[in-house]
Structure 1
Amino acid sequence: MFHPISAFIGLRYLRGRSGDRFSRFVSYMSTAGITIGVMSLITVLSVMNGFEAQLKSKILGVLPQAVISDESGKTAYTEVAPDFIQALSNKPAEPIVRSEAVIQSASQLAAGYLVGIEPGDDDPIGQHLIAGYLPDLQPSRYRVFLGHTLARSLNVSMGDKVRLMVTSASQYTPLGRIPSQRNFTVAGIFNTGSDVDGQLMITHIGDAGRLLRYSKESISGWRLFFDDPFVVGELSQQPLPKGWEWSDWRDQRGELFQAVRMEKNMMGLMLGLIVGVAAFNIISALIMVVMEKQSEVAILKTQGMTNNQILSIFMVQGASSGIIGAVVGGGLGILLATNLNTLLESMGVALFSVGGQLPILINPVQIFVVVVLAIALSLLATLFPSYRASSVKPAEALRYE
């Protein structure tokens, strides 16, 4: 804790005298640099957090977040999932049948990811349907829901017939190896706003099982649900009973989220360097102040001030610039992030071709960490100039006065 007289003198030095214009200018510029750096860092991180959260809700809300299955590839179906599986899921685990598949329409052919589910009122796909109803997925009716991007590429709409083919369940015939295939009717179209819409196909678990040539007592595995899909990294490390294996969304979308996280880290590093440069400007400002104030420091020492008190004076002066810049930058960053879409709209800047806005997610903990680190970096930058000031020898400083 600073001695009151040290804090008083340090704040007086921060304001400066009318004759110290250049040193005051450098001090103000370092404060402004920290303000701009913290504001930019908070704004960019809020946008990147929004993109990450949007991807989690749109992609991982529809794709199976995690599946526990038998190592043989086929899992025995029971009315209720085993207890160790239920303990890992935030809501009751559900049976699932899944496989890579090829879909063919009258005019086009595409590859995708087939998922067979037991349709329920709380199934995530129901929130993204733009045509059709979830109860339309009934057993033995061979109906399928397609993403709107996939439906458009196949040139199909509601009621059209498509052929689903699964190579993993192919049969050997006199004509060669023929994949398991069956005609399905398009009964629904969904839109998640992500690339999943170009690959995902949803059908009833019974129809998917028959396409894959599963028996009625077999499924691909048990589907788990989480409030935060990123917990799969921790849960996947937990040991499972012998004969069971774990798979999760990282197999299909892990690289995408790694790229988003890498981009967020790199943007944070680049903008953090702005704060670092501004903090080092404090060093140059303080060194100039120390050189100007040598005689005053010498007089303070002759009046009984200790080296630690002199050290505290210049630490207060330098740290005050960092604290003011970090706090003001944090407030401006929150204000800018909150009103960023409104500001872009008023400037006539359109970042998306068809409507849409930048997703913004302000993380209070992240903001607190950014502000605290900026203050700590500023405080660190004051150590060397403050030490130089405390080591001034009164006899030498006042020799030519």
Structure 2
Amino acid sequence: MFRPVSLYIGLRYLRGRSGDRFSRFVSYMSTAGITIGVLSLVTVMSVMNGFESQLKGRILGVLPQAIVGDVSGKTALTEQPPQFITSLPHVIESVPIVSSEAVLQSPAQLTAGQLVGIEGDADEPLRQFMLSGSVDSLQQGKYRIIIGHTLARKLKVNQGDKVRLMVTSASQYSPLGRIPSQRNFTVSGIFNTGSDVDAQLMVTNIEDAGRLLRMNKEQVSGWRLYLDDPFAVSTLAAMPLEEGWAWQDWRAQRGELFQAVKMEKNMMGLMLGLIVGVAAFNIISALIMVVMEKQSEVAILKTQGMTKQQVMALFVVQGASSGVVGAVFGGLLGVLLSNNLNLILQAMGASLYAYGGQLPVLIEYGQVLLVVGLAVCLSIVATLYPSYRAASVKPAEALRYE
């Protein structure tokens, strides 16, 4: 069977002889270092992906991802959204919404937050986070409100209690001066998203919110856009809208949070990538020792007709094999560890979340392949200089004292 001579001899050198124990030990340590580095990188990136996905679902699933409305703040309500909105890419659905900053007061406390008026459709994302009550309780004219459990605890209110909702953007004049538009609401539900949204978001019926903001029945704040990817807002915000329309999205309130998560993920990737880099360049040390040991053998191979390129390929095969084995095993072990991370933590008695919660893990296999591929490429690059030194051996000088 035909086998390339460089590949055949390179793999023979990889196995080594009994007298090459130290160089083999260095080679094995390089392989182990790459394996541990890739394993750590895949595991940490999977956990960071899980946290990012969880934040997207819990925060951006409940908050309006994007709102397109009239620049005046009052948009004419029509049966269907304008054509230019429905034609935007990434838009799954468009529904009317009333949104404003508001102040909520109870007998015990007063706090500010974001008021959102919704129609309460069957696919309303808030439904999956309800602790008590129901989104269906937000009926027109009933003046009911749903708040987060953190906000309810802060205001010391429960389902059925009365609170006063005030909107400063719709203030009015009175004999006592300018006062905000306000009305008593009944707490009809409490939700829990597991994020800081629970301390700020207030949800009520769209028409009740419109009356509080002094809008007529044919007016809303704008059209709420549901996107297939909330991070697509950066692209959509740059697209031109029709004259008189304005764009706003979640970045105004939560942009810093997701930017910090992205930066943390990048920094973790960089630090763990350096482990892979150090392990890959340990291959240089191992190969240089092998080249010094094999000088006479290389000289003999060159005298028998092996070209300079074939000699280089021989040592590239030997050195890169450690990187390939380490990267592939590291990737496989990283995926295996990520899939069973919560079971391992449970067996070790390391409880990270109360009430039986789990560490969020999301494995992106494209990302795993990228990490493994970069580790292999780095290993190949690390072999180039020792391989060039081996190919530059002059047979006469190497065999002079043999």
For the superposition of Structure 1 and Structure 2, which TM-score range results when normalised by the shorter chain?
over 0.9
Q: Residues 36-82 of structure 1, C-alpha deviation per residue, up to 9 Å, x if partnerless?
A: 00000000000000000000111111000110011122111111110
- The separation in 2 between residues aligned to 1:4 and 1:358, in whole angstroms, is 48
After TM superposition, the structure 1 = structure 2 runs for residues 212-361 of structure 1, keeping only pairs within 5 Å, are 212-361=213-362
The corresponding residue for 1:135 is 136
Correspondence for 1:70:
70
| Structure 1 residue 3, shift from structure 2 partner | 6.9
2:11 corresponding residue in structure 1: 11
Deviation, 1:153, is 1.1
TM-score by length of 2: 0.98
Aligned match of 2:30: 30
Counterparts of 1:295 and 1:91, CA distance in 2: 69
SS in 1 for 2:227: coil
Deviations 1:234-271 (A, max 9, x none): 12221111111111111111111111111000000000
Amino acid at match of 1:66: A
> Separation in 1 of the partners of 2:92 and 2:395?
74
- Offset from partner CA, 1:329-363 (integer Å, 9 cap, x none): 00000010011110011011112244311000000
The letter of the residue matching 2:319 is G
Q: Structure 2: how far apart are the matches of 1:370 and 1:399?
A: 46
- What secondary structure is seen at the aligned counterpart in 2 of 1:382? helix
Name the amino acid aligned to 1:29.
M
Matched to 2:119, the amino acid is E
Q: Deviations over 1:266-310 (max 9, x none)?
A: 000000000000010001110110011101000000111000010
Separation in 1 of the partners of 2:186 and 2:354? 32
For residues 41-52 of structure 1, what are the structure 2 equivalents within 5 Å?
Answer: 41-52=41-52
| Contact kept? 1:143, 1:184, Cα under 8 Å | yes
Shift of 1:90: 3.6
Using a 3 Å threshold, how does the CA distance of structure 1 residues 3 and 233 change in structure 2: closer, same or farther? Answer: farther
Aligned to 2:56: 56
Mapped to 2, the partners of 1:83 and 1:128 lie a distance apart of 32
Q: Percent identity?
A: 71
Cα distance in 1 for partners of 2:50, 2:123 equals 24
Distance 1:12 1:337 in 2: 35
Match in the other structure for 1:82: 82
Query: AA paired with 2:20?
Result: D
State which drifts further: 34-43 or 127-136. Answer: 127-136
Report the equivalent of 2:393.
Answer: 392
Q: Does the CA contact (< 8 Å) of 2:69 and 2:75 recur in 1? A: yes
Paired residue type of 1:8:
Y
What is the rounded CA distance, in whole Å, between the counterparts of 2:127 and 2:63 in structure 1? 13
1:79-228 matches, cutoff 5 A? 79-88=79-88, 90-228=91-229
For 2:52 and 2:209, the matched residues in 1 are separated by: 31
The one-letter amino acid of 1:81's match is P
Given that residues 169 and 212 in structure 1 are in contact (C-alpha distance below 8 angstroms), is that contact kept between their aligned partners in structure 2? yes
- Per-residue deviation, residues 113-154 of structure 1 (Å, max 9, x unmatched): 100011111111111112112221111110000111111111
Number of residue pairs matched by the alignment: 400
For 1:349 and 1:133, how far apart are their aligned partners in 2?
35
Q: Secondary structure at the match of 1:225?
A: strand
Q: Quick check: 1:112–1:199 contact (8 Å CA) kept in 2?
A: yes
- Further displaced range: 115-124 or 225-234: 225-234
Q: Is the 8 A contact 1:294 1:392 kept in 2?
A: yes
> How far apart in 2 are the matches of 1:346 and 1:135?
42
Give secondary structure in 1 for the equivalent of 2:215: coil
- For 1:248 and 1:108, how far apart are their aligned partners in 2? 30
Larger displacement relative to structure 2 (191-200 or 346-355)? 346-355
Native 8 Å contact 1:99 1:115 kept in 2: yes
Q: Could you list the runs of 5+ residues in structure 1 that have no partner in the other structure?
A: none
Q: Which runs of no fewer than 5 residues in structure 2 stay unpaired?
A: none
Letter in 2 for 1:367: V
Amino acid at match of 1:84: F
**Structure 1 residue 194: deviation in Å?**
1.0
2:369 alignment partner in structure 1: 368
Task: Decide which moves more: 129-138 or 43-52.
Answer: 129-138
* 8 Å CA contact 1:16, 1:24 repeated in 2: yes
After alignment, is 353-362 or 220-229 more displaced? 353-362
Aligned residue for 1:138, secondary structure, equals coil
Secondary structure of 1:141's aligned partner:
coil
Displacement after TM superposition at 1:216 (Å): 1.9
The 8 Å contact of residues 102 and 114 in structure 2, kept in 1 or not, is answered as: yes
Contact 1:3 1:309 in 2 (8 A): no
TM-score normalised by structure 1 residue count? 0.98
The DSSP-based 3-state class of the residue aligned with 2:181 is strand
Whether the 8 Å contact between 1:59 and 1:196 is mirrored in structure 2 is: yes
Extract structure 1 runs of 4+ deviating beyond 3 A.
89-92
Tell me if structure 1 keeps the 8 A contact 2:6–2:310: yes
> Secondary structure of 1:55's match?
helix
